[in-house]
């Protein structure tokens, strides 16, 4: 196991940010850690990466306790924080050199590592430039190089693609995929982009510091996503027919969306009044639907 968390708790004065959280992350996994703002994601990440003390619970990284083996754990973890922690006045090269030196990486070993980072992230055009002169996407590449320079076993990424243009998002995503598939790196990721979460091996949805749902994307879709029956014709008649049957619908200009449990329910509706349904499609529930249904359910229960 790369991460083992058992009954983790953390409060800030009267806010219980993490409340009895337990989960495990296996080697080589892409693990998506999701939740609305304030769910407790950053607090958990800061505890795993050793920059915030926990109140109680057990946190182990690569089998080592984060408190009693803090130094060893730090050498095994690389973190890309939401806000860059690089020194803005220094060049990318100087930033990376300082970071490497912190882990005792100098001389030939440092140059070799820098070359590896360059071929992975394409750094040659930005190495000599100070951070202040870089675009958002270039800075993100430098952030990732900083997190990886000491060759960690676990890479933690806190919203790595938020605010980036689509092309840079794709570059960051390609790098993550490459690290995982070619180097077997374990990647722990928070994101608000559900298409990124949908390719994860395992997903946790956090709410109010607790685990609200957990599983593979497929398992979560089966449990929480609803399919949509979208119809494009006879809209008034279909709206009346569905109202009779107690369905809530969402009506757009050209279509009506009906949430259904699955294809069987859609087929039942269509088979009862086939003359109304001559232009329709069934859209499979996706991770967006999972996220909305899980977080809505939690909010309703509050």
Name the burial class of residue 65, with classes exposed (0-12), middle (13-18) and buried (19+) by CB atoms within 10 angstroms of its CB. Answer: middle
Shortest reach from residue 204's CB to ligand ADP, in Å? 12
Per-position b or e across 253-283, b if 16+ CB within 10 A of its CB: eebbebbbeeeebbeebbeeeeebbeebebe
Burial class (CB in 10 A: 0-12, 13-18, 19+), 127: middle
Counting contacts by CB under 6 A, is residue 39 touching ligand ADP? Answer: yes
CB of residue 212 to ligand ADP, shortest distance in Å: 12
Element (H, E) at 75: helix 70-76
- 35, 50, 78, 285: residue in contact with ligand ADP (rule CB under 6 A): 35
Sheet containing 186-190: which strands, arranged edge to edge?
Answer: 77-80, 154-158, 186-190, 30-34, 202-207, 210-215
Q: How far is the CB of 30 from ligand ADP (least distance, A)?
A: 19
CA–CA gap between residue 290 and residue 217 (Å, rounded): 9
Q: Using the rule CB under 6 A, is 160 a contact of ligand ADP?
A: no
Q: Which two tokens stand for residue 154?
A: 């676990």
Determine, following the binding rule CB under 6 A, whether residue 17 of this chain makes contact with ligand ADP.
yes
Residue range at the interface with ligand ADP (CB under 6 A); choices 12-20, 89-97, 170-178, 266-274: 12-20
Minimum CB–partner distance for residue 13 and ligand ADP (Å) = 6
Judged by CB, which is closer to ligand ADP: 40, or 285? Answer: 40
Stretch of residues binding ligand ADP (CB under 6 A), selected from 21-29, 30-38, 104-112, 128-136: 30-38
The CA-CA-CA angle for residues 26, 7, 203, to 5°, reads 40
Of 2, 29, 31, 41, the residue at the interface with ligand ADP (CB under 6 A) is: 41
Q: Is the CB of 93 or the CB of 192 nearer to ligand ADP?
A: 192
Q: Does 12 bind ligand ADP (CB under 6 A)?
A: yes
Distance CA 252, CA 259 (A): 14
Closest to ligand ADP by CB, 47 or 126: 47
Q: How far apart are CA 138 and CA 127, in angstroms?
A: 10
CB of 48 to ligand ADP, least distance (A): 12
Kindly report the backbone phi and psi dihedral angles of residue 8, in degrees, each rounded to the nearest multiple of 5, phi listed first.
Answer: -75, 135
The region of 40-48, 54-62, 105-113, 260-268 touching ligand ADP under the rule CB under 6 A is: 40-48
Q: Between residues 97 and 158, which has the closer beta carbon with respect to ligand ADP?
A: 158
Min dist CB 191 to ligand ADP, Å, is: 12
In the complex, the smallest distance separating the C-beta of residue 169 from ligand ADP, rounded to whole angstroms, is: 20
Between 42 and 259, CB nearer to ligand ADP: 42
Specify the stretch interacting with ligand ADP by CB under 6 A; choose among 10-18, 62-70, 228-236, 255-263: 10-18
Residue 109 has, within 13 A of its CA and on its CB side, a CA count of 9
Of 95, 116, 113, 115, the C-alpha closest to 105 is 113
Contact at 8 Å (CB) between 227 and 266? yes
Task: List residues near ligand ADP by CB under 6 A.
Answer: 12, 15, 17, 35, 37-43
């Amino acid at each position: 196991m790369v991460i083992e968390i058992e009954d983790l708790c953390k409060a800030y004065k009267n806010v219980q940010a993490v409340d009895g959280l337990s989960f495990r992350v296996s080697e080589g996994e892409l693990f998506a850690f999701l939740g609305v703002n304030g769910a407790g994601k950053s607090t958990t990440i800061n505890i795993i990466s050793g920059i915030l003390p926990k109140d109680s619970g057990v946190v182990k990284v690569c089998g080592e306790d984060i408190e009693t083996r803090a130094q060893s754990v730090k050498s095994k973890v690389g973190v890309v924080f939401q806000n860059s922690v690089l020194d803005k006045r220094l060049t990318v090269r100087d930033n990376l050199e300082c970071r490497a030196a912190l882990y005792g990486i100098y001389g030939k070993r440092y140059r070799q590592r820098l070359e590896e980072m360059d071929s992975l992230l394409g750094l040659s055009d930005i190495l000599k430039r100070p951070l202040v002169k870089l675009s958002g996407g270039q800075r993100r590449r430098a952030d990732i190089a900083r997190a990886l320079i000491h060759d960690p076993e676990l890479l933690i990424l806190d919203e790595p693609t938020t605010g980036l243009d689509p092309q840079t998002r794709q570059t960051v995503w390609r790098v993550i995929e490459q690290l995982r598939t070619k180097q077997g790196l374990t990647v722990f990721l928070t994101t608000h982009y559900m298409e990124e979460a949908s390719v994860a091996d395992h997903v946790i949805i956090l709410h109010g510091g607790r685990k609200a749902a957990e599983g593979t994307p497929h398992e979560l879709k089966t449990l929480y996503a609803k399919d949509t029956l979208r119809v494009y014709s006879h809209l008034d008649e279909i709206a009346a027919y569905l109202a009779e049957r107690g369905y809530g619908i969402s009506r757009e200009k050209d279509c009506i969306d009906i949430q259904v449990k699955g294809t069987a329910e859609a087929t039942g509706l269509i088979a009862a009044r086939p003359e109304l349904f001559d232009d329709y499609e069934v859209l499979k529930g996706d991770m967006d639907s999972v996220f909305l249904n899980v977080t809505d359910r939690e909010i309703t229960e509050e």
